[in-house]
Amino acid sequence: MNALLLRTVTSRLFWPVVMLLALVAINVIAFPGFLTITVKDGHLFGSVIDILRNGAPTLIIAVGMTLVIATRGIDLSVGAVAAISGAVACSILLGSSDPGSFGTVAVAVAVALLIALVLGVWNGFLVSVIGIQPIIATLILMTAGRGVAMLITEGQILTVDSAPFKALGSGFWFGLPVAVVIGAVIFALAALLTRRTALGMLIESVGINPEASRQAGVRARGLLFTVYTFCALSAGIAGLILTANQTAADANNTGLFIELDAILAVVIGGTSLAGGRYSLAGTLIGALVIQTLVTTVYTVGIPPIITMVFKAAVVTAVCLLQSPATNAAFARLRQRIAARHARVKEAAAS
C-alpha cells in the first residue's frame, strides 16, 4: 500500500490534480454554489462552464505548444498569431457588404486560418531549414506580429456586428459553449493522431535525440514543419475565439501573454522543456489549473494588482513538487520502505 501511494505521488499528474482540486475546494468554500450548473434554454451555465469556456483558447494553444516543446522547441509567437488571425477576420467582415452572412464569416475564418498556417510554416522554416534556435525564430514573429496586426487594423479597434462570427466566442453547440466544443475536438484529434499512430513516438524521438532520430531514418525536418504549423493553426483558432467573444479585433491586447499561459500549462502538466516525452492529459489539467486559478483570484477577492504574483506563487509550488529533486526524495523514501518490508519478511521467515 505504501509503495502504491509513493508511485501515485511521484506520478507527473498527481500534483497538478491535487492543485486543481485544492483550487476547486477554495472556490466552493468562498462561493458554495461554485459547482452548480443550471440549464437555460437548453444551454449549460455556471462557474465550471465559465472556466471551461474561458480556458478553451489557452488549452487549444497549449495542445500545439505541447508538441512543439516535445521536439525541444518553443513558440513565443502564438499570441501575435492569435492577434493577426482576429485582425484579418474582422477586417474582412468590416469590408464586406453583408458581415452577418454565414458565407462571409466562413471566408473570413478560412483566410485567417490560412494566414496562421503560413506563419506556422515560416516558423518551421526558420527552425528546421535555416537552423535558428526556436526561441529566437519565434521571437521574431512575436515582435513583428503585433506590428503586422496593427497595420491590418490601422491602429484601431475593429468592432464587428456579425451574429455567426460572435457565435464562435459566445454561442452554444449541443448545450455547451462553442469554444469548449472546439477545444475538445482539437484535443481529441491531437491525442488520436499522436497516441494512436507512430506520430507521437516520432515526435518524442526527435526531442530526445535529434541526431539519432535522423540516422534512424526519421524525417525530423518534416516533423518540425508539422508541429510548428499545427501550433500556429491552434493559435489562429484561439485568436478567432478571443476576437469573436469581444466582437472586436484589438491588435494590442488579443492573445497578450497567452503564450506564457500555454507554456505554463504544458510545464504544469509534466512535459519537460528539454523535449522528449510529453503528456496531453497533463496539458489539459495544466490549462484547467491556470484558468481555475484566475477564477479563484476574483472569487476570493485577491486584489488584481497582485494577481500575477499569486499566480506565479502557485505555479512555482506545482513545479517544485514536480521537480527531479522532489521525485528523487520520494524514490529514496520508496527504497527505504521496500528495504524495511524485506527485513520484516526475513525476520518473520526466520
Mean pLDDT confidence for 167-180:
91
E strands, 245-301, are: 248-249
2-301 topology per CATH:
ABC transporter involved in vitamin B12 uptake, BtuC (1.10.3470)
Q: Which of 79-93, 165-179, 215-229, 292-306 has the lowest mean pLDDT?
A: 292-306
To the nearest whole number, what is the mean pLDDT of the chain?
88
- Residue-wise pLDDT for 88-129, tens only, equals 999 999 988 888 889 999 999 999 999 999 999 999 999 998
Query: Among 255, 331, 273, which residue's Cα sits nearest to residue 72?
Result: 273
Mean pLDDT confidence for 267-280:
87
Rounded to whole angstroms, the Cα distance separating 155 from 146 reads 10
- Residue-wise pLDDT for 16-43, tens only, equals 888 899 999 988 988 888 889 999 888 8
Cα→Cα distances 265→105, 129, 236, 284, Å: 31, 29, 18, 8
pLDDT number for residue 191 = 94
Rounded to whole angstroms, the Cα distance separating 7 from 185 reads 32
Q: Report percent pLDDT > 90 for the chain.
A: 50
Mean pLDDT confidence for 154-183:
91
Domain locations along the chain: 2-301, 305-350
- Mean pLDDT: which of 110-119, 215-224, 323-332 is highest? 110-119
- pTM of the predicted model, to two decimals? 0.89
Q: What is the DSSP pairing of strand 158-159 with strand 248-249?
A: antiparallel
Contact (CB, 8 A) for 258 and 61: yes
Rounded to whole angstroms, the Cα distance separating 133 from 117 reads 20
Rounded to whole angstroms, the Cα distance separating 347 from 344 reads 5
Confidence of residue 7 (pLDDT cuts 50, 70, 90): low
Confidence of residue 9 (pLDDT cuts 50, 70, 90): low
**DSSP run (H or E) holding 183:** helix 178-195
What's the gap between Cα 15 and its chain centre? 18
Could you give the maximum distance between any two Cα atoms of the chain, in Å? 91
Please provide the size of the chain in residues: 350
Eight-class DSSP state of 128: I
- Residue-wise pLDDT for 33-76, tens only, equals 888 999 988 889 999 999 999 999 999 999 999 999 999 999 99
The letter for the amino acid at 77 is S
Find the distance separating the first CA and the last CA of the chain, reported in whole Å: 24
